[in-house]
């Protein structure tokens, strides 16, 4: 009977296999992750932090090699930043570049509220900022929360002013109002979609007027004075800014047993952080390793910093040129022969909302990294469908390294679905599969992950970079 039982596949909780020492490692990793994600809420903040840490680990800007005409050799480490919002890191391998790369990819943009071009106005002696949301959000989730403003303002002379308002506990936060329940009879009859609409997402930022009683918009003027005093900017400078309104405050441990993480922007910084950490922990390699962290995934991967831009291909061409005698054929072969884990978050089964999930093909908290053979929606439309040959190889590697893994679909077949950057890389003819960490509350201001899954993702990425 025991032999027959061994034929079954059971997806166990990773917690069950951990020793006391393992649990300490799981918690230590999530402590570092909580520090990172509390500080890095925008794509620019992620790129800056990743570069700072990478340089400490011996990574150099690829431009230093390009400008000096120096060649790259096995063991060298370089990075390329695209407009400060997308980052590619390379650990050069000992094998010919045509053998292909080992690629870990993830995205570092997250749903949020962006300020409009002309955001600042006064209404009823209150100063407000107009926003246009970025990515898919449930608008009602963003009211009556402490919010912060992160981003840059670029002045006419090219000076970049970095702005973070609302994170320091001694500093004020900002926020969006909702109607009191006592006067919500009409609002409560609306559908959830219409209860709070896009043009209602106006951020309150002030209520004190300037002294001049004859001036118009005295509260707005006072805000402008504050901004000018602190940052040296004026109203026109908003036109050349990228200011993102995000939930204020630090990420936290979640649950009485502290087994989970509550944080803003875990989609997809949880996969970005662990992919990046796996590369930093990799000291040498046969095939060249790449970690690719992209922007604009939440709005369709378009634009100069999205996955569809030529940045990645161009950077690979530069690396081929720095490692060997350049040929376009080598660039194409290196990409075609690559293997990739394209990581993004999955939906973890939520017992509060079981009706949208198919229990046998859902991800569960604590059962490890998730592999999605395919994403897509309704008839697998628009999906990248990974090859069973590649999945078999991954199963073998994960087994050898005792990594907990599971598989999932995003929800019931006819319910919906999604997609990420995998299909864009798949166009080169490389082996690529969607993978990542499962979340509750995906795209909400505060998303939840399992600390065991974060740890297993790191282990999975390390095993991939070592073995594939």
Instruction: Give the binding site for Mn ion (CB under 5 A).
Output: 267-268, 344
Indicate the burial class of 211 (C-beta count within 10 angstroms; 0-12, 13-18, 19 or more): exposed
Q: What is the rounded distance in angstroms from the CA atom of residue 425 to the CA atom of residue 397?
A: 22
Q: How many residues can be counted in the chain? A: 468
> Taking a C-beta distance cutoff of 8 angstroms, is the pair 342, 425 a contact?
yes
Q: Residue 105 or residue 195: which is nearer to Mn ion going by CB?
A: 105
Q: Residue 267 or residue 434: which is nearer to Mn ion going by CB?
A: 267
Q: Residue 23 or residue 356: which is nearer to Mn ion going by CB?
A: 356
Q: Residue 269 or residue 330: which is nearer to Mn ion going by CB?
A: 269
Shortest distance (Å) from residue 189 CB to Mn ion: 30
Q: What is the rounded distance in angstroms from the CA atom of residue 101 to the CA atom of residue 93?
A: 9
Other CB atoms within 10 A of residue 184 CB: 13
Helix spans in 40-112 (H): 43-56, 62-68
Shortest distance (Å) from residue 369 CB to Mn ion: 15
Tell me whether the omega of the peptide bond preceding residue 268 falls within 30 degrees of 0, making it cis.
yes
Q: Residue 45 or residue 267: which is nearer to Mn ion going by CB?
A: 267
Shortest distance (Å) from residue 78 CB to Mn ion: 26
Shortest distance (Å) from residue 300 CB to Mn ion: 11
End-to-end CA distance of the chain: 36
Q: Residue 238 or residue 273: which is nearer to Mn ion going by CB?
A: 273
Q: Residue 29 or residue 421: which is nearer to Mn ion going by CB?
A: 421
Shortest distance (Å) from residue 36 CB to Mn ion: 17
Q: Residue 268 or residue 462: which is nearer to Mn ion going by CB?
A: 268
Residue appearing with tokens 């590619």: 88
Shortest distance (Å) from residue 353 CB to Mn ion: 18
Q: What is the rounded distance in angstroms from the CA atom of residue 441 to the CA atom of residue 422?
A: 23
Angle at the Cα of 76 from the Cα atoms of 28 and 80, rounded to 5 degrees? 80
Q: Give exposure, 406-422, as e/b (b: 16+ Cβ within 10 Å).
A: bbbbbbeeeeebbbbbb
- The distance of Cα 291 from the centroid of its chain, to the nearest Å, equals 13
Picking from 272, 315, 283, the residue whose alpha carbon sits closest to that of residue 421 is 272
Q: Residue 163 or residue 307: which is nearer to Mn ion going by CB?
A: 307
Shortest distance (Å) from residue 273 CB to Mn ion: 13
> Taking a C-beta distance cutoff of 8 angstroms, is the pair 464, 369 a contact?
no
Shortest distance (Å) from residue 4 CB to Mn ion: 40
Shortest distance (Å) from residue 110 CB to Mn ion: 7
């Amino acid at each position: 009977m025991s032999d027959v039982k061994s034929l079954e596949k059971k997806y166990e909780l990773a917690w069950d296999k951990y020793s006391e020492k393992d649990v300490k490692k799981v918690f230590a990793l999530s402590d570092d992750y909580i520090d990172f994600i509390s500080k890095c809420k925008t794509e620019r903040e992620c790129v800056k932090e990743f570069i700072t840490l990478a340089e400490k680990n011996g990574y150099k800007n690829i431009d230093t090699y390009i400008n000096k005409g120096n060649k790259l050799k096995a063991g060298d480490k370089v990075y390329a930043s695209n407009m400060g919002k997308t980052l590619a890191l390379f650990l050069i391998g000992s094998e010919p570049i045509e053998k292909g790369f080992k690629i870990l990819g993830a995205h570092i943009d997250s749903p949020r509220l962006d300020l409009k071009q002309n955001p600042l106005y006064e209404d009823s002696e209150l100063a407000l900022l107009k926003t246009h949301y970025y990515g898919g959000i449930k608008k009602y989730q963003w009211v009556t929360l402490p919010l912060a403003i992160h981003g840059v303002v670029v002045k006419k002379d090219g000076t970049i002013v970095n702005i973070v308002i609302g994170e320091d506990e001694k500093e004020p936060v900002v926020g969006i109002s909702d109607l009191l329940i006592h006067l919500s009879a009409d609002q409560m009859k609306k559908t959830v979609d219409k209860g709070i609409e896009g043009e209602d997402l106006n951020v309150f930022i002030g209520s004190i007027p300037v002294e001049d009683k004859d001036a118009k918009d005295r509260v707005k003027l006072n805000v402008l004075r504050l901004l000018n005093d602190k940052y040296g900017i004026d109203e026109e400078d908003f036109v050349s800014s990228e200011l993102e309104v995000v939930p204020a405050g630090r990420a936290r441990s979640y649950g009485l047993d502290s087994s989970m993480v509550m944080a803003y922007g875990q989609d997809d910084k949880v996969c970005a952080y662990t992919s990046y950490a796996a590369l930093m922990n990799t000291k040498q390699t046969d095939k060249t390793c790449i970690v690719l962290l992209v922007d604009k995934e939440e709005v369709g991967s378009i634009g100069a910093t999205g996955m569809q831009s030529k940045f990645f291909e161009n950077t690979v061409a530069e690396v081929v040129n720095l490692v060997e005698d350049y040929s376009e054929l080598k660039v194409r072969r290196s990409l075609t022969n690559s293997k990739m884990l394209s990581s993004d978050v999955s939906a973890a089964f939520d017992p509060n909302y079981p009706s949208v999930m198919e229990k046998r093909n859902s991800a569960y908290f604590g059962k490890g990294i998730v592999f999605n053979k395919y994403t897509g929606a309704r008839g697998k439309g628009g999906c990248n469908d990974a090859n069973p040959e590649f999945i078999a190889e991954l199963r073998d590697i994960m087994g050898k390294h005792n990594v907990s893994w599971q598989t999932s679909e995003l929800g019931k077949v006819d319910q919906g679905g999604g997609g990420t950057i995998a299909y864009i890389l798949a166009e080169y003819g490389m082996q690529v599969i969607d993978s990542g960490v499962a979340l509750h509350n995906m795209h909400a201001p505060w998303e939840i992950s399992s600390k065991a899954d974060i740890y297993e993702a790191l282990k999975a990425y390390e095993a991939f970079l070592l073995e594939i």
